[in-house]
Amino acid sequence: MVGQRYPVLIGPTDRDKFALMFDLTDVDGLPPHVLELVALARESRARPDDPSESLVKLNELRMSGALTEAEFNAAKARILGR
């Protein structure tokens, strides 16, 4: 929306990758295409992730350079409950 500001996270190693951050509970006035993304985000938060799928995605981020080895290991430990 014009005039709205949202925090944006830029990829640490790939400046072409970014994540838009906003409160999923405050969606009044958002355009329809953004509301679709909100619905997808809510759906993905509602269902528990398969740990093996999460580890695959995490490894892809590590291999692409988006995560350092330390970040990868910390996230892997969280997923595995260690």
- Whether residue 62 is predicted with pLDDT greater than 60 in this model: the reply is yes
List the chain domain ranges: 1-47, 49-82
pLDDT tens for 34-52 read 777 777 766 666 555 678 8
Q: Which ranges of 1-82 would DSSP assign to H, the alpha helix?
A: 32-46, 51-64, 69-80
pLDDT tens for 16-35 read 777 766 666 777 777 777 77
